[in-house]
Structure 1
């Protein structure tokens, strides 16, 4: 049940990221605060990992995302989202999500031209309008969602 709630949260974040290339703090910091309160109240993460696993997961997130943020490859929203995910899940899910996001990104980059030709013309027109409105900014959260989904299937 907890995995489904996190999956729904990531789906909502994905929708926001694709449409606006920005996540509201309520979605990221709100979940982070909720995960911290849960951690302090119960002694384990939302998915049942030890507090040390959440701490190490947060350290891994900072190690992997802050350099990208400093170089302008990640937004602050992406760092906050991954930090909240680390506090809610733990080390295994964070590492799996990063690896899964990388795999999803590679699959998208290698197959997007072929997939584009298969799309419905109405869908193509809508996606082109979204892409033109946002410029060069690339949404990161859809890959995080795919990575988390792959990780949840792998671990469960």
Structure 2
């Protein structure tokens, strides 16, 4: 059930990112605070990892995302989403999530041009920032969601 709540949260963030190419700080920071509070109170992450593993995952999240942010290749919200996943999950989950997100992003880069014309006009309007002709880089939160779902599938098999 906890992974479902995290997936719904990431889905909300992904929708906001697709629509506005921005995610509310209120949304991301409150999730980080909630995951950290849960970790401190219950001495395990929201998804059941020991505190040391969640701390390691949070460290990995920052080490892997802050350089991209500093180079302007990664958004601040993406850094915060990965930090949240680290605090709420485990190092294995985070690393699988990042790998899955990267693969999903690469898949969209390859598939977007041929797939985009097949989408209805309504779908294209709702997915505006995902249009291959209009953007240099795509919003990353939808791919973080895809990576998280992949990681959950792989770790709960």
Distance in 1 separating the partners of 2:142 and 2:118: 20
- List structure 1 segments (4+ residues) > 3 angstroms apart after TM superposition: 124-132, 134-137
Q: Report the Cα offset of residue 83 of structure 1.
A: 0.6
Q: Report the Cα offset of residue 72 of structure 1.
A: 0.4
My pick for the range that moved more, 101-110 or 44-53, is: 101-110
CA displacement 1:97-149 (0-9 Å, x = unmatched)? 100001101111111122123222443355458859x8545201000000001
Aligned to 2:111: 111
User: What are the ranges of 5 or more consecutive residues in structure 1 without an aligned counterpart?
Assistant: none
CA displacement 1:37-78 (0-9 Å, x = unmatched)? 111111100000011111110111111111101000111111
Alpha carbons of 1:127 and 1:14: their partners in 2 closer, same or farther (altered >3 Å)?
Answer: closer
Aligned to 2:53: 53
Aligned to 1:7: 7
Q: Report the Cα offset of residue 24 of structure 1.
A: 1.2
Aligned to 1:150: 150
- The correspondence of residues 73-152 of structure 1 with structure 2, limited to 5 A, is 73-128=73-128, 136=136, 138-152=138-152
Distance in 1 separating the partners of 2:130 and 2:138: 11
SS of the aligned residue for 1:72 comes to coil
Cα RMSD (Å): 2.0
User: What are the ranges of 5 or more consecutive residues in structure 2 without an aligned counterpart?
Assistant: none
SS of the aligned residue for 1:150 comes to helix
State whether residues 21 and 137 of structure 1, in contact with CA within 8 Å, keep that contact through their aligned partners in structure 2. Answer: no
TM-score norm. by structure 2 comes to: 0.90
Distance in 2 separating the partners of 1:129 and 1:89: 29
